[in-house]
Amino acid sequence: MRKFIIPIIFIVILSLWTSLFVIQEGERGIVVRFGRILKDDNVAKIYEPGLHFKWPLFDRVKHLDARIQTMDGQADRFVTSEKKDVIIDSYVKWKIKDFGRYYLTTGGGNAFTAEALLERKVTDVLRAEIGSREIKQIVSGPRNDNVLPQSADDDVVSTQAAKEALEIDGQRDQIMEEVLLNTRQSAMKDLGVYVVDFRMKKINLPDEISESIYKRMRAERESVARKHRSQGREKAEVIKAQAELEVATILAEAGKTARVTRGGADAKAAKIYSDAYNKDMEFYTFLRSLKAYEESFNQKGDILVLDPKSKFFQYMNEPDGSQSK
């Protein structure tokens, strides 16, 4: 009898060991018996984190991640209402809400299958939303009529561009909201998955379209630059003409003032000479001769060929100014 006690004890311990299972924090568990999920009132029985019991050999525990998960797929190409392609990179945050339905629709709780099905739903809804809008509506956010970019009074191009920017009815946020609501309803119904959030991370244009757009933008900017340069040259010519006019006016006024002053000085000097001549004609003649001598013999190398008896040398010949015989 004793030789059967040890095997019995071992079987009991093994049965107890296989009957216990632990659900970790952040997980939920469901028990499958003979390929069917255990239910309470026709609803899948969900095991919360902690220690639980099951029938050994008959029950199989499936651990499911109850945390919020992120599906970050590859960028995909979409067509707008203008028949233009855009490449959109997005991500989805989701979590399991109906664990029983999730287990059945994903082939036993396969997360890769769930994300593949969810990605298909998101892509279909996003494709419909993008196909009903233009590129400028997709890439722009909501319009803010209270914000107007500042520009100079004469910068007509910048002001016009700012007004056109405000007139664009940006619907990027609206697109994300529509995709979130539609996908959330469909995913909950078909997969038992609750879509927490949807966001478009990046919106790009294909390389061939981007190049043409860059060329057009470059041409527009060059046109604006040429307009600014022509306006600058026009203003420069106006400023230059005004400066030249002011210079000519100043020089004319200065010349007029100089001529008036010089004329007054000449008249005053002539009057002084006339008064001096009238007072003492002999002395005046003597001073004028000394001035002539000074100017004639100013340099050492000056040579003057004249008759010594000419009137020019009258004050060199005789002290009283009379010429020698």
Per-residue pLDDT of the chain (325 residues; tens, 9 = 90+): 566 676 766 666 666 667 788 889 989 998 888 878 888 777 788 888 988 888 777 888 888 999 999 999 788 999 999 888 899 999 999 999 999 899 989 888 889 999 999 999 999 999 999 999 888 888 876 655 544 444 444 444 444 444 444 444 678 899 999 999 999 999 999 999 999 999 999 888 887 776 777 788 889 999 999 999 999 999 999 999 999 999 999 999 999 999 999 999 988 888 887 787 777 777 777 777 777 777 776 666 667 666 666 666 666 665 554 544 4
- Give me 106's structure tokens: 């994903």
Predicted local distance difference test score (pLDDT) of residue 178: 93
The answer to whether the CB of 214 falls within 8 A of the CB of 169 is no
Question: For the chain, how are helix, strand and coil distributed in percent, rounded to 5?
Answer: 55, 20, 25
Supply the pLDDT for residue 169: 61
Residues in Cβ contact with 100 at an 8 Å cutoff, skipping those fewer than 6 apart: 30, 37, 39, 43, 44, 46, 192
Interacting residues of 255 by C-beta distance below 8 A, sequence separation 6+? none
In terms of DSSP bridges, do strands 39-40 and 43-44 run parallel, antiparallel, or are they unpaired? antiparallel
Shortest CA distance to 201 belongs to which of 315, 318, 76, 22? 76
User: Cα–Cα–Cα angle for 176, 131, 90, nearest 5°?
Assistant: 35
Residue 130, number of CB atoms within 10 A of its CB: 23
Residues ≥6 apart with Cβ < 8 Å to 201:
89, 90, 91
Closest to 139 (Cα-Cα) out of 163, 165, 178:
165
Both tokens of 13, joined, read 């311990």
Short-list 118, 116, 130, CA closest to 88: 130
Which domains are seen in the chain, by residue range?
Answer: 2-65 (no CATH), 69-146+164-205 (3.30.479.30), 286-325 (no CATH)
- Would you say how long the chain is, in residues? 325
Distance CA 55, CA 31 (A): 10
Phi, psi angle pair for 252, to nearest 5°:
-65, -45
Contact 137, 170 (CB under 8 A): yes
Kindly state the tokens that stand for 90: 């997005």
Pairwise CA distance, residues 322 & 325, whole Å: 9
What's the start-to-end Cα distance of the chain, in Å? 189
Phi-psi label, residue 60: left if phi above 0, alpha if psi -120 to 50, beta otherwise:
beta
Q: What is the pLDDT of residue 148?
A: 46
d(CA 210, CA 197): 30
Q: Which two tokens stand for residue 205?
A: 């244009």
Contacts of 43 (CB under 8 A, 6+ apart): 100
Can you give the pTM of this predicted structure? 0.57
What pLDDT is stored for residue 141 in this prediction?
67
Lookup: tokens for 108: 């036993």
DSSP bridge partners of 51? 22
| H or E element, residue 287 | helix 281-296
Quote the tokens at residue 33. Answer: 């018996």
